C-alpha cells in the first residue's frame, strides 16, 4: 500500500504566462495535511439525436483545466510565496539576518503572478500544471493551537512529467510553525480583545465561462474579475461596549443608528516561538489601512449572540475589508518576517 506521506507538492513562480518554470532550484515544496491538485476534464456527451436509438451515442473531452485545494500548517518561507500569489506585490526589506516582506495589492489590483505546480502522488508519477493562479488563501487561528491555512488553485494545461530531476527533500519547507500563545490581537490597536478564534480570507473571482476559445483545449487565461478580503473573529464578551458599537451605534451610544462600525486600526500579530534572527521571531502582521472612523476600510458586523447553558457568552464578528476611502493606502498589507530574501 502506498502512503500519502511519500507524496510531494511544489510550486514556483513563472516569468510569464505560457512559460512553465522547469528549474528545480526555483521550486519550494510544501508540507500539507490533505488536499488534491489534478487535471479537471470537461466532458461533453453528444446531444440526443432522432433516429439514433435510446442511448447517448458518444462522449468527448472538449477541454481541460487544472487546480485544486489543500489544507496545511503554514511555514514562513512558503507562506510568503502564497501571500505574493494571493495579493500580488512583495516589498522586501533586510532586517539583520532576517527579511521583512510587505505584501499588498499590485499597482494593477487585478494582476496576480502565475505559478507552476508539481505533484507526485505517492512519488509514483509526476504531474506539472502551468499557468496557475492562487484563487483563495485562508489563514485560521484559535487559542492554544497552530496557525492553519487553506489554499485554492486554478490553473491551465496539465502534463505528465518525470520526477528524476526533482530534489523535493532539498527544497522542502519544514520550517517553524506559527502558534497562537505568542500572538497579539487588538481592536483597535491598544485595545486588546479576547479572541477565541479567527480567520483572514483572501479570494479572487476568476470566472472561466468566457475563457474557452475556439482552437484550444485549455482556457485562454485565468483573469481576475473581482477580489474580496474579510476578517472573522469569535471573541469573549466581558462588557457591552463592543457589542453596542457594532450592533447599535458605532460611536458607542445606546440608541440604534444606521451607521456601521468602521475600524481598521487593528493589530493582528501572529508569531512563532523560534527566531529568524536575534530578537526577531518569525512574524506575521495583518493590517488594513490603519484608520478609524469614516476613513477606516474595515466595516464590522456581528451575529446575534446565542446563549448556551454552561457556556461562555461569546460574539462572532465579521469585518469586510473595502477599498481605502482616502485612495491613498492599499486596502490591506501583510508583513511577514522570515529568512527568505526575495520571491
Q: 145: Cβ–Cβ under 8 A, 6 or more apart, which residues?
A: 179, 180
Q: pLDDT of 48-75, one tens digit each? A: 999 989 999 999 999 999 999 999 999 9
Do the domain assignments include residue 107? yes
The pLDDT value recorded for residue 248 is 96
Q: pLDDT of 126-137, one tens digit each? A: 999 999 999 999
Residue whose C-alpha cell is 488536499? 35
Q: 3-state class of 317 per DSSP?
A: strand
Do the domain assignments include residue 219? no
- Give the model's confidence band at 108: pLDDT under 50 very low, under 70 low, under 90 confident, else very high: very high
> SS3 breakdown of the chain: % helix, strand, coil, rounded to 5?
10, 45, 45
Do the domain assignments include residue 343? no
Q: pLDDT of 311-338, one tens digit each? A: 999 999 999 999 999 999 999 999 999 9
- Give the model's confidence band at 1: pLDDT under 50 very low, under 70 low, under 90 confident, else very high: low
The pLDDT value recorded for residue 172 is 97
Residue whose C-alpha cell is 490603519? 290
- Give the model's confidence band at 81: pLDDT under 50 very low, under 70 low, under 90 confident, else very high: very high
Do the domain assignments include residue 83? yes
Do the domain assignments include residue 327? yes
- As for how many domains the chain has, the answer is 1
- Whole-prediction pTM value? 0.96
Q: pLDDT of 272-308, one tens digit each? A: 999 999 999 999 999 999 999 999 999 999 999 999 9
Do the domain assignments include residue 68? yes
Summarize the confidence of residues 147-151 as an average pLDDT. Answer: 98
Do the domain assignments include residue 127? yes
Do the domain assignments include residue 66? yes
Domain that residue 143 falls in: 4-213+224-338
Amino acid at each position: 500500500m502506498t502512503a500519502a506521506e511519500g507524496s510531494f507538492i511544489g510550486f514556483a513562480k513563472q516569468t510569464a504566462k505560457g512559460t512553465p518554470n522547469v528549474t528545480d532550484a526555483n521550486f519550494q515544496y510544501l508540507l500539507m495535511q490533505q488536499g488534491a491538485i489534478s487535471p479537471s476534464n470537461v466532458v461533453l456527451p453528444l446531444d440526443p439525436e432522432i433516429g439514433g436509438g435510446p442511448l447517448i451515442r458518444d462522449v468527448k473531452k472538449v477541454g481541460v483545466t487544472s487546480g485544486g485545494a489543500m489544507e496545511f500548517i503554514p511555514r514562513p518561507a512558503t507562506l510568503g510565496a502564497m501571500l505574493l500569489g494571493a495579493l500580488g506585490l512583495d516589498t522586501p526589506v533586510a532586517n539583520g539576518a532576517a527579511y521583512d516582506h510587505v505584501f499588498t495589492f499590485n499597482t494593477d489590483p487585478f494582476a496576480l503572478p502565475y505559478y507552476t505546480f508539481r505533484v507526485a502522488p505517492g512519488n509514483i508519477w509526476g504531474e506539472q500544471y502551468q499557468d496557475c493562479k492562487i484563487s483563495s488563501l485562508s489563514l485560521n487561528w484559535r487559542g492554544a493551537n497552530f496557525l492553519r491555512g487553506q489554499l485554492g488553485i486554478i490553473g491551465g494545461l496539465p502534463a505528465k512529467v518525470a520526477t528524476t530531476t526533482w530534489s523535493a527533500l532539498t527544497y522542502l519547507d519544514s520550517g517553524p510553525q506559527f502558534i497562537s500563545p505568542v500572538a497579539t490581537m487588538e481592536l483597535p490597536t491598544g485595545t486588546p480583545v479576547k479572541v477565541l478564534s479567527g480567520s483572514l480570507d483572501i479570494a479572487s473571482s476568476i470566472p472561466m465561462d468566457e475563457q474557452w476559445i475556439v482552437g484550444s483545449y485549455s482556457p485562454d487565461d485565468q483573469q481576475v474579475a473581482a477580489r474580496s478580503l474579510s476578517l472573522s473573529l469569535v471573541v469573549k464578551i466581558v462588557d457591552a461596549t463592543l457589542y453596542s458599537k457594532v450592533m447599535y451605534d458605532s460611536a458607542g451610544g445606546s440608541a440604534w443608528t444606521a451607521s456601521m462600525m468602521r475600524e481598521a486600526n487593528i493589530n493582528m500579530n501572529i508569531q512563532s516561538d523560534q527566531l529568524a534572527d536575534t530578537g526577531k521571531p518569525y512574524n506575521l502582521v495583518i493590517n488594513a489601512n490603519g484608520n478609524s472612523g469614516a476613513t477606516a476600510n474595515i466595516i464590522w458586523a456581528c451575529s446575534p449572540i446565542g446563549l448556551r447553558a454552561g457556556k461562555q457568552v461569546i460574539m462572532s464578528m465579521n469585518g469586510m475589508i473595502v477599498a481605502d476611502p482616502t485612495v491613498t493606502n492599499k486596502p490591506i498589507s501583510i508583513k511577514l518576517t522570515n529568512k527568505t530574501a526575495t520571491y
